[in-house]
A and B are shown apart, each in its own frame.
Chain A
Amino acid sequence: MNKLEYLNQLETILKKQHLDKADIDDIIRDYAEFFEEGRRQGESDQEIAAKLGSPELIAQQIMEENGYKVAITPAVPKAEFEFKLPKFKMPKFGFGNKEEASEDGNSAEEKREKKIYNKPESKKGALGCLGSGLLLLMKFFVLLVVGGTLAAVFGLAAVGVGCAFIGLLCGFGAVILGFFAASMAAHFMTLPVTVFAIALCIALLALIVCLGALMLMLMGWCGKVFLQILRYILDWPHKPVIVTVPQAEMPIMCEEAVSQEEEGELYE
């Protein structure tokens, strides 16, 4: 089980336990952090997951710590949590993989939460919830903009195609009309007029077709540029928005310090 599968499974189980959304997010954040730290130590997701124990066990532990006695059923149908993801990731445009999409939310939320230094957990939870809500709202709006723009682009492209077709039809019509006109005119004038009329119609047809094609190309280019811009906007949580003062890396283990000293403190 990799990180994403593990966290999804845990989230699915926790959702069944009537926990607050903010609490669930917080728990998932904690375990996501644990996975990241483990990865940094060169452990595989499988090793980390094995050390953590099953998601059911974790959920059970959490509920017990909350004062509930529950037995969590281990069966988690996979289909249930695989369905939710496509909402966020928009596979068509390649906005990162699933995992990045879920971490987006986390990292942005962390940045929000970071401002609330040294506040009690409960307050931070509420604000974190607000933060994630805002983020969701923002993403919703961004998606609205994306959807709207895409619709506009495709609409315009369709107009371009339409123009080209109408241009073709008009051109043919004009050619036929030109023939009639030219044949009628031929009664009064000499041959060169017919030739002139046909030439004019063909020119007109070519002009309209070219215009339609040009419009299509323009639409394609506009769409590409829009997509790039929107992709940049949607990707912003990946970029280091908050620059913090670099700090020395904390040692994972402070073996010497902890070992004897702490024991002495505890026992004596």
Chain B
Amino acid sequence: MNTQFRKGIIEMCILALIARKDMYGYEIVQNIAYYTEINEGTVYPILRRLTQEEYFVTYLKESTVGPARKYYHITEKGAAYLGALKLDWKEFSNMVEEILRGETHE
């Protein structure tokens, strides 16, 4: 799959995961890796950019089993962005599905 396209989808998935609950990096990576082959190193750069764009805020939380974990929390801006992405995605996937089903518009 085209990397740019794939990256866009991964970005949406990351937003969707964190929208449900605050997560730390490894947790996010594992969640995505559960569904699809992913280069695990590429998630952090995306997380970084989304944080820089103020879609996430981060906070450190002490862990009982090891060093502190950096948790990501979605902002209102991030939630709005995710909403827009979801709409786009739905529109796009509907279009693709229609074409794949062989429906045509005369």
Q: Taking beta carbons and an 8 Å cutoff, which residues of A are in contact with B?
A: 26-27, 29-34, 36-38, 40, 51-53, 57-58, 61-62, 64-66, 103, 106-107, 110-111, 113-114, 116-122, 124, 242, 244, 246-247, 249-250, 252-255, 257-258, 262, 265-268
**Docked CA distance A30–B71 (Å):** 11
Inter-subunit contact A65/B93 (CB<8 Å): no
Say whether chain B's binding surface is mostly helix, strand, loop, or mixed: helix
A-facing mask of B44-84, CB < 8 A → 1, else 0? 11111101101011111111111111100100000000000
Q: Is the CB of A121 within 8 A of B62?
A: no
Select which of A61, A111, A116 is within 8 A of B42 by beta carbon. Answer: A61
| Number of residues on chain B facing chain A (CB within 8 A) | 47
The answer to whether B67 and A266 have CB atoms under 8 Å apart is no
- CB pair B54–A266 under 8 Å, yes or no, is no
Counting CB contacts under 8 A, is B86 at the interface? yes
Q: Are A255 and B45 in contact (CB under 8 A)?
A: no
Which chain A positions have C-beta within 8 A of B45? 58, 61-62, 64-65
Alpha-carbon gap, A110 to B57, bound state (A):
16
Contact indicator B65/A114 (Cβ below 8 Å): no
Residue of B39, B47, B49, B54 near A66 (CB, 8 A) is B49
CB contact between B41 and one of A58, A110, A262 (< 8 Å): that residue: A58
A57 contacts B41, C-beta separation under 8 Å: yes
Q: How many Å from the CB of B101 to the closest CB on chain A? A: 15
Q: In the complex the two chains form, what is the Cα distance from A58 to B45 in whole Å?
A: 8
Q: Quote the shortest CB–CB distance from A35 to chain B (angstroms).
A: 9
Tell me whether B62 and A244 are in contact (CB under 8 A): yes
Other-chain contact of A250, B12, B24, B54, B86 (Cβ < 8 Å): B24
Residues of A within 8 A of B12 (CB): 266
Assuming the A-B contacts A65-B45, A66-B49, A114-B68, are A33 and B25 also in contact, with contact meaning beta carbons closer than 8 angstroms in the complex? yes
Query: Which 6 pairs, one residue from A and one from B, show the smallest C-beta to C-beta distance?
Result: A37-B26, A52-B41, A244-B62, A65-B49, A110-B68, A61-B45
Nearest-CB distance from B97 to chain A (Å)? 10
Residue ID in chain B nearest A115 by CB atoms: B60
With A and B bound together, what is the CA distance between A62 and B64 in angstroms? 30
Residues of B within 8 A of A36 (CB): 66-67
Cα A210 to Cα B38 with chains together (Å): 74
Chain B residue with the shortest CB-CB distance to A54: B41
Give A70 to B98 CA distance when docked, in angstroms. Answer: 39
| Assembly CA distance A201 to B68 (angstroms) | 69
Chain B neighbourhood of A31, CB < 8 A:
41, 44
The distance from the CB of B55 to the nearest CB of chain A, in whole angstroms, is 10
**Residues B58 and A121 in contact, CB atoms below 8 Å apart:** yes
Are A118 and B73 within 8 A (Cβ)?
yes
- What residues on A are CB-neighbors of B59 within 8 Å? 114, 116-119
**A58–B40 alpha-carbon span in the complex (Å):** 10
Q: Which residues of B contact A254 (CB under 8 A)?
A: 31
A-B contact pairs, 30 of them (CB 8 A): A30-B48, A32-B67, A33-B67, A33-B69, A34-B40, A37-B26, A51-B41, A52-B41, A53-B40, A61-B45, A62-B45, A62-B48, A65-B48, A65-B49, A103-B67, A107-B67, A107-B68, A110-B67, A114-B62, A118-B59, A121-B52, A247-B61, A247-B64, A253-B27, A253-B30, A253-B31, A254-B31, A258-B31, A262-B16, A266-B12
